[in-house]
Amino acid sequence: MAAAAALYFAALASLAFVIAPGSDGRFWLWTTVAFIPVGVFLVGMFGRRRWWAALAFSIVAAAWLEAAQTVWMPAGYAAVVDILLASIGAAIGVSVAVAVAVWREHSERPAARTAHAAPNLATSRRASASNSAAPLNLDR
């Protein structure tokens, strides 16, 4: 998973520095959709309980890309709105990843409950006479 995430992050970073011909604001959807896998990958790496860290790193990554575009791209290419759109995409990805993780956890739980079901009273050590009273001496 880490290798796939690294490849995706590298591709996303390299595509951020390509000037799209005729990009007159029609690529807002691309910015949002491109960061959905970022949220999914980061939840996969940090874990479901640290979803907030995955979201925070996604927002920092979006801000870093926009800051880098401000430095290395023509004037007017970077926009603060892109950070917001990327953050929305990352939040969608984090939400989907956490929902899938919770669903998988709950779908596996009933199987675990049946495997550890209460034992039959006849075979239970707590209900047996040998556990609650002194053993009978049958040698007399």
Report domain extents, the chain.
Answer: 2-12+27-112
> What is the share, in percent, of the chain residues with pLDDT greater than 70?
70
pLDDT in tens, 9-21: 888 877 777 776 5
Q: In this model, does residue 67 exceed pLDDT 60? A: yes
Tokens 């040998």 sit at which residue? 130
Residue 50 is classified by DSSP as G
Q: What is the per-residue pLDDT for 94?
A: 96
- pLDDT of residue 69 exceeding 90, the answer is no
- Say how many Å lie between the first and final Cα of the chain, rounded: 69
Q: What is the mean pLDDT of the chain?
A: 79
